[in-house]
Amino acid sequence: MFDPKLQHQSYANAPVQSAAFYADPEDMLANHKKLRETLEAFVKTQSPDTPFALQILATHSAITLMPLGLFDLDEVKQWEHTQREQAEVTTNTQDGLPLVLQFESHVKEADNRKIILDLTANTLFTDFNHAFKDRLWPRVVELLTTNQKLLYQLAKQLTKQKETAAAKQLQALQKLSDDQLKAQVGFALPPSEQAHYADYTADLAQVNAILLASADFVREQPQQGISFQEMMMRPELRNVFFWCLDNTFYEIVYFYIQAYGGRNAKLSKHLRSMRKQLAPMMRTDAWQKADEALKAKKTVVLPEFFGAVFFPIAEQLEVAINQFAPEG
């Protein structure tokens, strides 16, 4: 995944060992297991001086674990200067450079930051259990929690926009005669169903906004002017594409959880259960659609591709919501 120009002399002419995994927004046990297993495999097969970069791919950010100075020698100079100025040094400078966690936000609501850990690669290799449990995992949880807050924050924004749009839509519908309503929506819409219809159309408008933003991201980032076929033939770009699909899925599902789950605890639990069922189905469907396009050498219009994958998921969520009566 990485092809960096190494800056620190310790890493010169050495290939970077890289790995990545998707973080589940709510399953910290699964994230813990994936990170631990990935690092255990690295420790068993590599040495402390091996340059590496491990990415945790979250919904609105990427969290990268790597040695300080892997990409930027100035970081090492600044760290060494800080160490000389500090009366108390928490990291043993003779034990090698510390590891860092880099948080790269993909939304404007959060800033990028880097945490210099009280942990070196040597310690990771010589005392793995302690290093992982006490020095690394708590800081990873901190950053994953930051990402989760972003996910909820964006879901709240989408919900607020949806509620405003639904209210305006309902007011407009209530001003129309029966004939005008039928002409506008295509079928009879009695007063008792107008609020539901307004909610439904506002929901899908938000889903469409999510899809368009995701399609724009793919066009500007992994695709960057090349064909869909070429993007899918390059593993590092294909990985980003499917990462974006995962993020789009979570953004849609958590929008519905925020919009409707807060009013019904049983519905919230049900939508979270559906999330686990729908995610692998979405990935399989997206892969099949991409594979069909590749084999047929079709021109892929990204908004249409995203719509074909995700509008059926939104419809399934709408059906589930309609089956639950409001609590109380």
101 sits in which H/E element: strand 98-105
pTM: 0.85
Q: What's the maximum distance between 2 C-alpha atoms anywhere in the chain?
A: 82
- Residue pair 122/50 in contact by the 8 Å Cβ criterion: no
203 sits in which H/E element: helix 191-218
Phi, psi torsion values for 22, nearest 5 degrees:
-85, 135
- What DSSP assignment string belongs to 230-253? HHHHSHHHHHHHHHHHHHHHHHHH
Please state the domain extents for the chain: 9-150, 176-322
**Separation between Cα atoms, residue 125 and residue 131, nearest integer Å:** 9
**Separation between Cα atoms, residue 148 and residue 24, nearest integer Å:** 10
CA end-to-end span of the chain, whole Å?
Answer: 51
pLDDT in tens, the chain (328 residues): 333 333 344 555 567 788 999 999 989 999 999 999 999 999 999 999 898 999 999 999 999 999 987 766 666 666 665 666 665 555 444 567 899 999 998 888 888 999 999 999 999 999 999 999 999 999 999 999 999 999 999 999 999 999 999 999 999 999 999 899 989 889 999 999 999 999 999 999 999 999 999 999 999 989 999 999 999 999 989 999 999 999 999 999 999 999 999 888 899 999 999 999 999 999 999 999 999 999 999 899 999 999 999 999 999 999 999 988 665 4
